[in-house]
């Protein structure tokens, strides 16, 4: 479990835009089509979804259901073919590529299944990297904040090791610390426990639950029904459509 005192999320700070209708994340009639040599594939088909600030939402569905595409829409990694995506009052679908990258660096933390830690950087350097890229914290504060986050994840004693020298569960905790580096209000996790054993997966899930209690908004993609039952809310995707909650 996380230690007490993790900095509350940025939604509580003055100047952070808030949505007028109560939805922190809102997708309206979102369609995403991919066109290739084999023809056109519809990954999302008219998705409507509202998520409130501080919610923990799990997205379930079979492979190819559109789960990762949904995450990519919210993060601005990809753009919809049609429809609208608003996050904390920002029309993400309308931002140009450069502005989306800047917005994402400051507002969204992403955790992936296979950690994506840079193998040549130490644990603490991996956590510092997003701060340097987003120019969010002065250089003297970056290492201090990175160590603080690693302490919250109970992994600080491994700060100066390379990722390969720690376990899979520990690497995922480092990845979560890295996702929190710029204090984003939103955390998007795409199968974050998919490569972990059940005990370690439960431990990582408990970290997410603690973050929600401290104010973060989390959207997590998973195939794990047992974990999904523990979330505040579950959304079921099938063939690019939300078919149940």
Please, what is the average pLDDT of the chain? 89
Chain centroid to Cα 129, Å, comes to 17
237: confidence class by pLDDT, cuts 50, 70, 90: very high
* C-alpha–C-alpha distance, residues 77 and 65, integer Å: 18
* C-alpha–C-alpha distance, residues 204 and 208, integer Å: 7
In this predicted model, what pLDDT tens digit does every residue of 9-38 receive, in sequence order?
333 333 334 444 468 999 999 999 999 888
Best CA proximity match to 181, nearest among 221, 125, 220: 125
Q: Residue 165: which H helix or E strand, with range?
A: none
pLDDT of the residue at 15: 35
User: Is 79 inside a domain boundary?
Assistant: yes
Q: What is the CATH number of the domain that holds 210?
A: 3.40.50.300
Let me know: does 160 contact 123? Beta carbons within 8 Å: yes
Q: Which pTM does this prediction carry?
A: 0.84
* C-alpha–C-alpha distance, residues 182 and 121, integer Å: 18
Best CA proximity match to 220, nearest among 107, 68, 18: 68
User: Is 144 inside a domain boundary?
Assistant: yes
Q: Total domain count for the chain?
A: 1
Q: Which domain holds residue 164?
A: 10-244
User: Is 20 inside a domain boundary?
Assistant: yes
pLDDT of the residue at 2: 54
Mean predicted confidence (pLDDT) in 140-149: 95
151: confidence class by pLDDT, cuts 50, 70, 90: very high
User: Is 24 inside a domain boundary?
Assistant: yes
User: Is 5 inside a domain boundary?
Assistant: no
pLDDT of the residue at 9: 39
User: Is 199 inside a domain boundary?
Assistant: yes
User: Is 2 inside a domain boundary?
Assistant: no
Collapsing DSSP to helix, strand or coil, 148 comes out as helix
User: Is 3 inside a domain boundary?
Assistant: no
Q: Where are the alpha helices (DSSP H) in the chain?
A: 67-75, 97-107, 123-134, 139-152, 168-179, 198-213, 225-228
């Amino acid at each position: 479990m996380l230690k007490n005192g993790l900095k509350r999320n940025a939604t509580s700070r003055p100047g952070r835009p808030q949505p007028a209708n109560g939805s922190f994340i809102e997708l309206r009639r979102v369609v995403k089509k991919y066109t290739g040599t084999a023809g056109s594939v519809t990954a999302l088909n008219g998705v409507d979804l509202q998520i409130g600030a501080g919610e923990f939402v799990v997205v379930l569905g079979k492979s190819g259901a559109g789960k990762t595409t949904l995450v990519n829409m919210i993060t601005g990694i990809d753009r919809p073919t049609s429809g609208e995506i608003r996050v904390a009052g920002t029309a993400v679908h309308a931002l140009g590529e450069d502005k989306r990258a800047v917005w994402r660096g400051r507002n969204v933390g992403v955790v992936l299944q296979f950690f994506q830690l840079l193998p040549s950087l130490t644990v603490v350097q991996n956590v510092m990297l997003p701060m340097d890229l987003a120019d969010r914290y002065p250089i003297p504060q970056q290492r201090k904040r990175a160590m603080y986050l690693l302490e919250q994840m109970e992994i600080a004693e491994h700060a100066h090791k390379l990722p390969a020298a720690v376990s899979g569960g520990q690497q995922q905790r480092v990845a979560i610390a890295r996702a929190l580096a710029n204090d984003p209000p939103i955390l998007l996790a795409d199968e974050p426990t998919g490569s972990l054993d059940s005990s370690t997966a439960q431990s990582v899930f408990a970290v997410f639950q603690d973050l929600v209690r401290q104010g973060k908004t989390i959207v997590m993609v998973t195939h794990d029904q047992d974990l999904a039952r523990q979330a505040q809310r579950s959304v079921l995707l099938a063939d690019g459509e939300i078919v149940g909650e």
